[in-house]
Structure 1
Amino acid sequence: MLTSGGCPKNMLSIKDALEALEGKWKLLILFALSGGPKRFKQISAEVGGITDKVLSKELKALEANQLIRRQVYDTFPPTVEYAITPHGLSLEKVMEELHYWGLSHRKQIIGK
């Protein structure tokens, strides 16, 4: 359990995590990739509702934070595949807890 009282070190680490995962798409993209490497259109279809422009931006940000890797294969036309990194997989417990919290929240707010 984190100590309360707004410890600057705790605040900084939480700020860093939120900056790496900000927005509504990044965790969903990581969740989609947790099942194995995927191509751009596969991610787009699995995440659903995300535009190509936003997906491209989010993939670049996730790659910059070393949460995913982009692999270009020497084919014609070039094949590009995205995969979650070990660093990205370290978020597995966070995603699992968010899943359970989301179920509980939905039940609390919507009653379903």
Structure 2
Amino acid sequence: MLRSNCGKVGGVISSVTVAALVAGVVGTAYSETATATLVAPDDGTYTKTWSISGTGATGLSINASTGAVTGTPTTAGVATVTYTVNDSHNTTKTGTTAITIAATRAAEVTETDK
């Protein structure tokens, strides 16, 4: 639906939801793509940007356009992935998710360990 407000045309964003991402491990290559759902269909006027921050983000990078998170984490912690959307009415909404980066991979229990 198109709405008019002070000469601006386009939908107004009501919320943004970012899907969960899998955890990572220090020293192990990471490659996942973040996805988001907007409550208000994009009418072509939205600007969208992905960003990443936090202690677990060291060694990771994110493609600001596609949400692709790649790299090899070098520090354990939590990386926060944020999706920022701005509509033609200058309404800005963000959605976030976290990537937990572990120092080591959890040990697997095998039949011989029991």
More helix by share: 1
TM over 0.5: no
Normalised by the length of structure 1, the TM-score is: 0.24
- Kindly name which structure, 1 or 2, has the bigger radius of gyration based on alpha carbons: 2
More strand by share: 2
Q: Which gives a bigger RCO, structure 1 or 2 (Cα 8 Å, sep 6+)?
A: 2
Normalised by the length of structure 2, the TM-score is: 0.24
